Amino acid sequence: MKSVLSERKTFHPSELERRELPPAAGAAVRTLANEIAVTVGPSRAIATTLGDPELLEHIETRYTELPEDVHHAMRAPATAAGVTVIGRLPLGDTELGQTPMDWRQAAAWAGEPGRTSSSFALDITMLLLARCAGEPFGWQGQQGGRLVNNIVPTPGHEREQSGASSTALLSPHTEDAFHPLRANLLMLGCLRNPDLVGTTVSSVRRVELTAAQRDRLSRRELPILPDVSYGTGFPNQPSPPVATLGRDQGQLTLRFDPAYTPLDDAGPEFRSAYDHLAEELERVCITAALAPGELLLVDNDVVVHGRVPFTPRYNGTDRWLKRVNIRLAQRHRDASEAAETGYGQRVVAPFHTIRGNRR
């Protein structure tokens, strides 16, 4: 899809909601995360998935200790743009060590005691913040089931449509659009971004569509397949069609991933409406170039996100984000989605288990 998003370099434009963490509140999050990291002790087994029961129990019982300013900042985006920039956590570049070459290396380094990188404590920081927003979860088939994903440019993946790419425009998409249990909120935490690489965001609640286009896109027409981060072989599984547009309390919601949607199989009426929606999402696009310590909180039911192209260095100084999927208990999707299998992909939801065991 032709796009001008690669040329949009706006840094935190005024359309974006912004929330500031007072310095004391940001320091409190880092301090608590460091305390938990020391108490649990980093190890390869714990850092691999972050699913260790002791670690999760600490997060579940202690996130409520964080200042009210933190809990207030982590509430769902409040504007039609569906996105909030939250700043900022205290973070120094020297504490990070080198940017890893891929997510596997990032997970391995986090579990090496004595390594200068503070990635393990930063993983805990992300989980504490995500728990303030809702219920963090992961996917068994993505990054080894890890609850906090590392987003870094990876050699050999430069042109693909995944978080490991770099030189290609990452097309606007709903995170995990193929799955009925996809996140309600997506949290991106910036550790390093020397070139101010922009994350693009577009809200369906800012687009202009005719009644006929809304009606056409609300019908189940085409499937959405899992992206390459989940592996291959999915075309051999049943691929039920899904609706591009939905509604929640009368407001439009969106399920959109053109890179993994077989658009050539669509009829002309649907394709015309879909193309118009894509053009509208481009028209209302906002680009946020996160600085270290800043968070981007995205309403995944309303907003598509992507990334402008950039040239990776592969010298330990590249862009490095951490990503967490978050479920909101108060959100409900169309009942028809419950019949979808999600291509066999299973969620990793230990916080749900912890709360269930306490009842």
Instruction: Say if residue 94's pLDDT is above 70.
Output: yes
Q: What's the pLDDT band for 14 if we cut at 50, 70, 90?
A: low
Instruction: Say if residue 114's pLDDT is above 60.
Output: yes
pLDDT in tens, 297-309: 999 999 999 999 9
Instruction: Say if residue 6's pLDDT is above 80.
Output: no
SS3 label, residue 259: helix
HSE, CB side, 13 Å, CA atoms: give it for residue 346: 5
Q: Which residues of 5-24 are buried (b: 16+ CB within 10 A; e: fewer)?
A: bbebeeebeebbeebebeee
Instruction: Say if residue 2's pLDDT is above 70.
Output: no
**pLDDT value for 137:** 97
Cβ neighbors of 59 (< 8 A, separation 6 or more) are: 36, 124, 127, 128, 131, 351
Instruction: Say if residue 203's pLDDT is above 90.
Output: yes
Q: Which residues of 306-342 are buried (b: 16+ CB within 10 A; e: fewer)?
A: bbbbbebeeeeebbbbbbbbbbbeebebeeebeeeeb
pLDDT in tens, 217-263: 999 999 999 998 887 766 566 789 999 999 998 899 999 999 999 99
- pTM score of the predicted model: 0.93
Mean pLDDT, residues 283-303 taken together? 96
Q: Which of 28-32, 116-120, 164-168 has the least mean pLDDT?
A: 116-120
**pLDDT value for 173:** 97
User: What gap in Å lies between CA 53 and CA 66, rounded to an integer?
Assistant: 21
Instruction: Say if residue 281's pLDDT is above 60.
Output: yes
Quickly list DSSP for 121-138.
Answer: HHHHHHHHHHHHHSEEEE
Q: Are 81 and 294 in contact (CB under 8 A)?
A: no
Q: What's the pLDDT band for 13 if we cut at 50, 70, 90?
A: low
User: What gap in Å lies between CA 92 and CA 253, rounded to an integer?
Assistant: 38
**pLDDT value for 185:** 98
